[in-house]
Amino acid sequence: MRKFITVAAAAAMCIGLSTTLHAKTLKLAYDADPVSLDPHEQLSGGTLQFSHMVFDPLVRWTKDLGFEGRLAESWTRVDDKTMRFNLREGVKFHSGNPMTSLDLVWTFDRLKKSPDFKGLFAPFEAMRVVDRNTVDLVTTEPYPLVLHQATYIFAMDSQYYTGFDAHNKSKSAIVKHGDAFASTNASGTGPYTIASREQGVKVVFKRNASYWDTKSPGNVTEIVLTPIKEGPTRVAALLSGDVDFIAPVPPNDMPRIKKNAGTKLVTMGGTRIITFQLNQDRVEQFKDKRVRQAIVHAINNKGIVKKIMKGFATAAGQQGPKGYAGYMDNLAPRYDLKKAKQLMKDAGVEKGFSVTMMAPNNRYVNDAKIAEAVASMLSKINIKVDLKTMPKAQYWPAFDERAADIMMIGWHSDTEDSANFSEFLTMTPNTETGYGQYNSGNYGNAKVDGLILKSQSMTDPAARSKTLQEVEQILYDDAAFVPLHWQNLAWAARKGVGVEAVVNVMNFPYLGDLVVK
Amino acid sequence: MDYLYFAIRRLLQAVLVMFVISLIGFSIQDNLGDPLRELVGQSVSESERDALRDRMGLNDPFLTQYGRFMYKAVQGDLGNSYFFKKPALEVIAAKFPATLELVIGASLLIIFFAIPLGVYCAINPKGWFSKFIMGFSIVGISVPVFLTAIFSIYVFSVELGWMPSFGRGETSGILGWQSGFLTVDGLVHLVLPSISLASIMMPLFIRLIRSEMMEILQLDYIRFAWAKGLMPARVWFLHAFKNTLLPVITVGGVQIGTMLAYTILTESVFQWPGMGFLFLEAVNRVDTPLIIAYIIVVGLIFVVTNTVVDLVYTWVNPTVKLVGSK
């Protein structure tokens, strides 16, 4: 079989040489395939990875967390609530329909109706047509993250998605648990179209022959995406040459991939923070700042990174990673067992107490092992931990009930901005506004709430950054939560696949620009 | 007449068993987790999720939900999979060929290796090869199937590069059945998963056949056969072997069910797109309609195979009385 492939490849190359058009196939293995072809159905990493293949956003993130125009050629601020985007001309959807401002407005209105995305777009009032190739994005208040959110606006083909399908249902409907036109059909402007799809088995993408971005160096003509759920099998598939590119990579297999002559490993500091929250409503002692500080001082998160994560993470002392608006260099991890014991003594609880802890066992990298390590570290300051780990499917309902005194949560900011962490994790829980939805510690600080709310309408980046840094400082001093680490990201590929140039910290590789030798 | 009575009785039993399975399957769904979590992103609010739950009828009382489920189930509708957005039965049916081919592959290996080896060990209990087989089967029975699978991937795919590491390879359609038996690529992909799946059952069958045959070789009628001066081959393969098969068929029938359970492990290691892998994924995603449909389908397979085994058994061994006959 190998021989056949070699012969076929040689034949393909001969044909390629004569026509100067090289047919390149990339065999890609992720842990899962896209759940739906509808970019608005589920807000998840998988959906965004898929969206960047078949659709194009208005703007997209660059490697250094800046922005580059995609469907928007340029943008200007009209007033403090309005951003004007000039659209690229001559862009066509896969169906052949031309892309105009009407498609973007249609897409935006659909985003506002999507249960998953409407929260992200709550600060926006509307998108308005100025002319055929110009739109205005208007917010209700001055809003600093307009471009951040514009990375989520992937133009959909409004004519293609208008009308009724075979079951007389609207083609534009967003359906989470049933058959819908948009879940199984797609027309975007992106570098790839879908040639075939067998859910859970494979998806075949073909290069869009009339892609607008003719400057893109990408030379992959076909992508075969196979989901391989088990980490060791995924790695074996790469090592044996059955696939060219895999993600994610289990930390245990990284040295093997590096050592192997034909493969390479690409890693990057990630942005997902892993934390523990100390529930102050359930445990009286956690109300005391000194006890919380003692816990933070008792946990050797650098050791966890080294021993359990095999160096594949960055130990954290705050919520947002480096590069984010609120990041402060001096808020470092603070493991100091002596100080922890002293703090317990100061708080009058040096004899310790018992608490319950819960963590998932299949959600984050090594989650259950981390929880076990933390539990044993806390025993050194006489806090006896009764730990329970469970699959994520059971963990989230337990988390919603706040079922344990200490609970693990990881968070990735959908806006790639510091404020998002606080909005969900450390603002005072409020069911009406939705703030603090994942704050199982019930930490509340009016000052933090005020600063975050203020930051939401600050359009001066420097002043806003200062405000968010102040928040991080308060949370640090208050030991509002227990920061552990930011999970790193890793991809592995056959040598010759230029993944370095297309991967990014958001973990949606721009496969349209991928160069394969 | 006896046969008909027996068949009706078994059918009624089967219906009752299926009813109990559906009830148990349905009642555990609340303990599997919250399906909404897998359907929406992390920042979707609780009220939004609750509204969705309401629309999906997940907030109704248990009996209302079960009644609705049974009403549809008797019409052959087991609900739609949340993830695949298609009828659960259709999803399972689409994955069934892959699993069946894997089970057939493993069964063929067992039949072609376990029977000759078991018979050989019974005939030459003291030979060094027999001792080797018995020793090796102890190892085989104690190594978990996923370890065998991972080990074989590393040896035969990564190090030696002889075998593909995952998946089902190329399939070709015949009468609407996408089969891997018809292409070279498909057959090559079948080798490692079949061996892994067979590895757990093979030692059991070798040992079973060996001990049954040894026992039978001690019986009087075999001694008469020897005394009559029959050829050894005739004594072994006609007289002794036929009776050896009786318990093997019973155990085999039950083990087909167990094998289905082991496909879950084998399929997930090899990314084999079959029912077992589907089930594991469904549990991870809390795709409850699919989980319940799988439980019911597998329950049905168990009930059917056991009934068939009983029927075959009475046919092979006429001395066994049909249950319930007078």
Q: What's the CA gap between A153 and A379, in Å, rounded? A: 48
Element (H, E) at A194: strand A192-198
For residues B192 and B221, state if they share a domain. Answer: yes
**Arithmetic mean of pLDDT over chain A:** 89
CB atoms A232 and B85 under 8 Å: no
Residue B203's domain is classified under what CATH number?
A: 1.10.3720.10
**Which residue, among A3, A41, A230, would best test binding to B if mutated, counting the most B CBs under 10 Å from its CB?**
A230
Supply the pLDDT for residue B312: 73
Supply the pLDDT for residue A432: 80
All structural domains of chain A, each given as residue ranges with its CATH number in brackets, are 10-44+169-268+490-513 (3.40.190.10), 59-150 (3.90.76.10), 269-488 (3.10.105.10)
Report the b/e string of B39-68 with b at 16+ CB within 10 A.
bbbbbbbeebbeebbeebebeeeeeebbee
CB atoms B33 and A392 under 8 Å: yes
- Which is higher by pLDDT, B246 or A503? A503
Q: What's the CA gap between A509 and A491, in Å, rounded? A: 10
Q: At A136, phi and psi to the nearest 5?
A: -110, 130
CB atoms B283 and A393 under 8 Å: yes
| Mutual angle of helices A289-298 and A367-379, in 10-degree steps | 110
Q: Which has the closest alpha carbon to B200: B128, B121, B256?
A: B256
- Three-state secondary structure along A412-469? CCCCCCHHHHHHHHHCCCCCCCCCCCCCCCCCCCHHHHHHHHHHCCCCCHHHHHHHHH
Q: For the whole model, what pTM was predicted? A: 0.81
For residue range A344-386, what is the model confidence (pLDDT) as tens digits? 999 999 899 999 999 998 888 889 999 999 999 999 999 999 9
B250 within a domain of the structure (yes/no): yes
Read off the pLDDT band of B6 (50, 70, 90): confident
CA atoms within 13 A on the CB side of B52: 22
Q: What's the CA gap between A318 and A422, in Å, rounded? A: 11
Indicate the residue of A119, A176, A236 with minimum beta-carbon distance to B158. Answer: A236
* Residue A152 pLDDT > 90: yes
Chain B residue with the nearest C-alpha to that of A175:
B85
CB atoms A233 and B286 under 8 Å: no
Q: Name residue B12's beta-bridge partners.
A: none
CB atoms A230 and B271 under 8 Å: yes
Indicate the residue of A239, A393, A411 with minimum beta-carbon distance to B284. Answer: A393
CB atoms A200 and B84 under 8 Å: yes
Q: Which has the closest alpha carbon to A55: A188, A220, A151, A195?
A: A188
For residue range A211-249, what is the model confidence (pLDDT) as tens digits? 999 999 999 999 999 999 888 889 999 998 899 999 989
**Which residue, among B31, B42, B270, would best test binding to A if mutated, counting the most A CBs under 10 Å from its CB?**
B42
CB atoms B37 and A392 under 8 Å: yes
Quote the ipTM score. Answer: 0.74
| Domain-terminating residue out of B13, B47, B77 | B77
For residues B53 and B159, state if they share a domain. Answer: no
* Residue A17 pLDDT > 60: no
Chain A residue with the nearest C-alpha to that of B35:
A393
Mean pLDDT for the stretch of residues B155-184: 77
Indicate the residue of A177, A233, A434 with minimum beta-carbon distance to B56. Answer: A177
Supply the pLDDT for residue A457: 87
Supply the pLDDT for residue A289: 92
For residues B127 and B70, state if they share a domain. Answer: no
B26 within a domain of the structure (yes/no): no
Mean pLDDT for the stretch of residues A410-427: 91
Supply the pLDDT for residue B269: 87
For residues B238 and B266, state if they share a domain. Answer: yes
Show which of residues 11-70 on chain B sit within 8 Å of chain A, judged by CB atoms: 31-34, 37-48, 52, 56
Supply the pLDDT for residue A82: 94
Q: What's the CA gap between A62 and A339, in Å, rounded? A: 42
Choose from A167-176, A238-247, B58-67 the range with maximum mean pLDDT.
A238-247
Q: Give the rounded distance of the alpha carbon of A106 from its chain centre.
A: 25
Supply the pLDDT for residue B127: 84
Q: What's the CA gap between A7 and A19, in Å, rounded? A: 18
CB pairs under 8 A between A and B: 138
B86 within a domain of the structure (yes/no): no
Question: How, if at all, do strands B177-179 and A134-139 pair?
Answer: unpaired
CA atoms within 13 A on the CB side of A447: 11
B5 within a domain of the structure (yes/no): no
Q: What's the angle, vertex CA A368, arms to CA A339 and CA B258, rounded to 5?
A: 165
Choose from B59-63, B192-196, B319-323 the range with maximum mean pLDDT.
B192-196
Query: Which chain A residues contact residue B80 at CB under 8 A?
Result: 177-179
Chain B residue with the nearest C-alpha to that of A413:
B43
For residue range B30-54, what is the model confidence (pLDDT) as tens digits? 777 777 777 777 777 777 788 888 8
For residues B170 and B200, state if they share a domain. Answer: yes
For residues B136 and B106, state if they share a domain. Answer: yes
For residues B230 and B121, state if they share a domain. Answer: yes
* Residue B164 pLDDT > 90: no
Query: Which chain B residues contact residue A399 at CB under 8 A?
Result: none
> Distances in Å between the alpha carbon of A176 and those of A125, A150, B157?
25, 24, 39
For residue range A69-97, what is the model confidence (pLDDT) as tens digits? 999 999 999 998 999 999 999 999 999 99
Supply the pLDDT for residue A382: 93
Indicate the residue of B41, B85, B157 with minimum beta-carbon distance to A240. Answer: B157
For residues B210 and B251, state if they share a domain. Answer: yes
Choose from A191-195, B70-74, B134-138, B205-209 the range with maximum mean pLDDT.
A191-195
- Which of A39-48, A325-334, B303-312 bottoms out in mean pLDDT, i.e. has the lowest? B303-312
Question: Is residue A455 within 8 Å of A467, Cβ to Cβ?
Answer: yes
Read off the pLDDT band of B322 (50, 70, 90): low
Chain A residue with the nearest C-alpha to that of B91:
A199
Query: Which chain A residues contact residue B38 at CB under 8 A?
Result: 393
**CA–CA min distance A239, chain B (Å):** 6
Question: How, if at all, do strands A222-227 and A482-494 pair?
Answer: unpaired
Indicate the residue of A178, A201, A230 with minimum beta-carbon distance to B273. Answer: A201
B24 within a domain of the structure (yes/no): no
Supply the pLDDT for residue B317: 66
Q: What's the CA gap between A258 and A44, in Å, rounded? A: 29
**CA–CA min distance B184, chain A (Å):** 9
* Residue A515 pLDDT > 60: yes
Supply the pLDDT for residue B175: 64
Q: What's the CA gap between A501 and B13, in Å, rounded? A: 64
**Which residue, among B29, B31, B44, B183, would best test binding to A if mutated, counting the most A CBs under 10 Å from its CB?**
B44
Q: What's the CA gap between A205 and A208, in Å, rounded? A: 9
Indicate the residue of B33, B86, B158 with minimum beta-carbon distance to A239. Answer: B158
Indicate the residue of B39, B45, B167 with minimum beta-carbon distance to A176. Answer: B39
Q: At A508, phi and psi to the nearest 5?
A: -125, 95
Q: Which has the closest alpha carbon to A120: B48, B216, B231, B296?
A: B48
Q: At B4, phi and psi to the nearest 5?
A: -65, -45
Chain A residue with the nearest C-alpha to that of B153:
A236
Query: Which chain A residues contact residue B188 at CB under 8 A?
Result: 1
For residues B62 and B98, state if they share a domain. Answer: no
Supply the pLDDT for residue A20: 40
Show which of residues 131-190 on chain B sit within 8 Å of chain A, judged by CB atoms: 150, 153-154, 157-158, 161, 164-167, 184-185, 188
Read off the pLDDT band of A1 (50, 70, 90): very low
CB atoms B34 and A397 under 8 Å: yes
For residues B57 and B201, state if they share a domain. Answer: no
Q: What's the CA gap between A274 and A315, in Å, rounded? A: 10
Show which of residues 203-262 on chain B sit within 8 Å of chain A, judged by CB atoms: none
**Which residue, among B152, B158, B266, would best test binding to A if mutated, counting the most A CBs under 10 Å from its CB?**
B158
For A252, the token pair is 């245990």
Domain count, chain B: 2
B17 within a domain of the structure (yes/no): no
Number of Cβ within 10 Å of residue A454's Cβ equals: 15
B310 within a domain of the structure (yes/no): yes
Chain A residue with the nearest C-alpha to that of B44:
A116
B21 within a domain of the structure (yes/no): no
For residues B66 and B141, state if they share a domain. Answer: no
For residues B67 and B197, state if they share a domain. Answer: no
CA atoms within 13 A on the CB side of A421: 30
**CA–CA min distance B127, chain A (Å):** 40
For residue range B71-102, what is the model confidence (pLDDT) as tens digits? 888 888 888 888 888 888 888 988 888 888 88
Question: Is residue B254 within 8 Å of B306, Cβ to Cβ?
Answer: yes
Q: Which has the closest alpha carbon to A197: A54, A55, A56?
A: A54
Indicate the residue of A119, A177, A232 with minimum beta-carbon distance to B43. Answer: A119
Domain that holds residue B220: 94-316
Indicate the residue of A120, A233, A397 with minimum beta-carbon distance to B270. Answer: A233
For residue A497, what is the DSSP state?
Answer: B
Indicate the residue of A176, A226, A232 with minimum beta-carbon distance to B167. Answer: A226
Q: What's the CA gap between B36 and A33, in Å, rounded? A: 19
Number of Cβ within 10 Å of residue A134's Cβ equals: 15
Chain B residue with the nearest C-alpha to that of A423:
B43
**CA–CA min distance B112, chain A (Å):** 26
